[in-house]
Amino acid sequence: MKIIITITLSFLLASLAYVKKALTPWALIVAFLFSCLITYLGGISCFLMLATVFLLTLIAGKIKTKERNAKIKSLHSKGSQKNLASIIANVAPGAGCLIIYKLTQNNLFLVVYASLMAEAISDSLASDIGILSSKKPLNILTLKRSTPGLSGNISLLGVIASFFGSLIIALIYYIFNLNFPYFLIITFCGTLGNFIDSFLGALLQVKYECPKCHIITEKEEHCNCKTNLVQGLKIFNNDVVNITSNIITGFICYLLII
């Protein structure tokens, strides 16, 4: 019975992703497998957290304004479809956490899983909603105004969105487990995780300058010419930053609850 429910729920989620063209084909297959693993090991509550992260990311990504589209187009190396690396970066640490939960039968790992999901949604809401902010964002390291859409930026609107994202995941945990201290820790860790992500993004993530228009971008090409590396390490793209901040957030959460 459990396996039928697991496959049905994951199939529904994957179908939605397929219809909405949210994922590339390989990402879709791997996301379906991760969803099966997460639901089978963690149960309905873990599935609901995953589905919420997915749905909110989908909705936030659809908020379209002319300005936002222009900003994103010139800055990011990826299109709107999430690829395989992005799915692995966001879901693998959580799935790993549930494998440890199953092996150790230690309920604390469910709290860590929830914190990781909270961080995932915090991160996407902070960037997708934060970019709508009318004020220019600040670079988290220099605290100077920065080009909207770049990694390492923070804005008040983004921080508020990230807090509410974490709160929703924490609420799902609370409904199933009725533990208020853990509810607070999940909200805190999710929001903190977003700051860690911005911090790592500002510190390490690769940035290029266009030789023609001098815009700072994450693209390797701009205005039809090759951009110059101005900061960061080439291997630290958005996915590597995501998975690193996920792992750090997971450790912080674990240290807070043991």
109 touches 93 (CB < 8 A): no
Nearest CA-CA partner of 9 in 28, 46, 42, 35: 35
Nearer to Zn ion, 62 or 226 (CB): 226
CB of 214 to Zn ion, least distance (A): 7
* Contact between 233 and Zn ion per CB under 5 A: no
Question: Phi/psi at 129 (nearest 5 deg)?
Answer: -95, -35
45 touches 173 (CB < 8 A): yes
**Identified binder of Zn ion from the candidate list 44, 223, 229, 233, rule CB under 5 A:** 223
- According to DSSP, residue 136 is labeled P
**Identified binder of Zn ion from the candidate list 3, 141, 171, 213, rule CB under 5 A:** 213
- Residue number of the CB atom closest to Zn ion: 210
Nearer to Zn ion, 70 or 213 (CB): 213
27 touches 87 (CB < 8 A): yes
CB of 75 to Zn ion, least distance (A): 11
Nearer to Zn ion, 200 or 210 (CB): 210
**Identified binder of Zn ion from the candidate list 153, 222, 237, 245, rule CB under 5 A:** 222
Nearer to Zn ion, 63 or 230 (CB): 230
CB of 149 to Zn ion, least distance (A): 14
CB of 70 to Zn ion, least distance (A): 13
141 touches 21 (CB < 8 A): no
Nearer to Zn ion, 147 or 179 (CB): 147
b/e map of 223-248 (b: 16 or more CB within 10 Å)? eeeebeeeebeeebbbbbbbbbbbeb
Q: Where are the beta strands (DSSP E) in 150-237?
A: 153-154, 207-209, 216-217, 221-222, 225-226, 228-231
Q: Which two tokens stand for residue 247?
A: 């792992």
Nearer to Zn ion, 96 or 149 (CB): 149
CA atoms of 71 and 75, how far apart (whole Å): 6
CB of 226 to Zn ion, least distance (A): 11
Of residues 193 through 212, those in contact with Zn ion by CB under 5 A are: 210, 212
Of residues 59 through 98, those in contact with Zn ion by CB under 5 A are: none
CB of 223 to Zn ion, least distance (A): 3
CB of 77 to Zn ion, least distance (A): 14
Interface positions with Zn ion (CB under 5 A): 210, 212-213, 222-223
